[in-house]
Amino acid sequence: MKTILFFLFILMSLGAQATEINGFASLYGSTILGGGPSQDSYTNENYNFTHFSKIGFNLNAPVNNQLSMIAQVIADGDVSDTANDSKTDWKPVADWFFLEYRNSDSSILRIGRQLLPILLTAEYIDIGALIPYFNLPLAFYNLSTIKAVNGISYEYGLTSGNQRFATRLIAGEEKKTYPLVGGELDGHFNDLIGLSLLYEWQWLQLQASYIHTQIDATFNTEFTISNPTTHIGQTLSYDLSVSLDHYSLGLKIDYRDILFYAEGIMLRGQKATSLNEATDGLIKEGKFLEKAIGAYAFIGKRFNRITPYYMYTRALWDAGILKDQVSYHALGCRYDPISNFTAKLELLSAKSAESSAYVHEIGRWSHGLSLGFDILF
């Protein structure tokens, strides 16, 4: 049904006046320097330009002065663990498509599949040329839970001099398979409601958001039970219903060629219900996710066409029997030789304190070197 609606949307947009189509592409390659493969450093044992490469198109089709049809189609490379899709292999996906009605410059109504206003860079997270760093580490990015929902939102903004205030309300739902630490979640994110607040002033941007959703899902997990006499690998599948609250706060500063980003995310889940009998005793209190926190800080300095930068990221979570905390250090350089073309080189080191799906060896650093090219067309 979603595919049918999207193609109907495209056919309608082709008949609209002054349709605008913009394209973007990213070619990312990486290799392992030491410590074993790390999914979160975007490295592969064999150097290639597939992992996290992408190509996409943005479409804006005005129907009249107030109503527009807006969409993004994107095809990813070998993506195996993101909040967007579990694995795509260059399959085109309608990331979002919605109708936008602007009653005025300050009042906007959107209906359809749309992005959640969670991250500072949420509306252009896939367009590498617009993002100063290489990529957000997965352990942080996956804390955003879901990227887009099918629903309705209303945004109202006020402008006073060089200041702008905006608030956005959103409600919707999403069905998807979501990779999670220790397993995979296949379910329905329903009764989603959210509120975001945005403040902009010259070189400053501040954003805060809150998202609440009810998850009815099946969680498949694999784990090992070890003691002096027993070593058992076991796979469990259980149904759950959990209430999840998502909080985020972000700060962006672009002042005199100095770039600074800082962002934090916190998830809090209630006790899961409707667990299968197989999980009794293993997850005694029915914990699905007790706490998850992630934060990163980025700083860079422009020198004409070159921008060296450093980014530190830390994420930790407690999901009952699964706990972990991961740290990342990224040192990179961005080069803009011509308009609409960017090259990035980044060295990333990751370390996990406990069991991790993101870092190869516990307690040891994993290192990766990544090279990327971004273009707008």
Whether 194 contacts 117, CB under 8 Å: yes
Which amino acid is present at 187?
A: G
Interval 277-322: pLDDT, tens: 444 444 444 455 567 889 999 999 999 999 999 999 998 876 555 5
Which amino acid is present at 142?
A: N
* Residue 27, in any domain of the structure: no
* Residue 247, in any domain of the structure: yes
Of 176, 184, 177, 181, the C-alpha closest to 139 is: 181
* Residue-range definition of the domain harbouring residue 285: 33-47+128-376
Q: For strand 258-269 and strand 365-376, is the pairing parallel, antiparallel, or unpaired?
A: unpaired
* Residue 370, in any domain of the structure: yes
* Residue 94, in any domain of the structure: no
Give me the pLDDT at residue 275, please. Answer: 46
Rounded distance, CA 167 to CA 210, Å? 12
Which amino acid is present at 81?
A: D
* Residue 236, in any domain of the structure: yes
CATH of the domain at 245: 2.40.160
Give me the pLDDT at residue 261, please. Answer: 96
Q: What is the DSSP letter of 141?
A: H
- Residue 280 makes CB contacts below 8 A (sequence gap 6+) with none
N residues, the chain: 377
Tally of structural domains, the chain: 1
The listed range with the strongest mean pLDDT (13-27, 70-84, 147-161) is 147-161
* Residue 272, in any domain of the structure: yes
* Residue 249, in any domain of the structure: yes
Whole-prediction pTM: 0.81
* Residue 20, in any domain of the structure: no
| First-to-final CA distance of the chain | 31
Interval 91-142: pLDDT, tens: 888 888 999 999 887 899 999 999 888 888 888 888 999 999 888 877 787 7
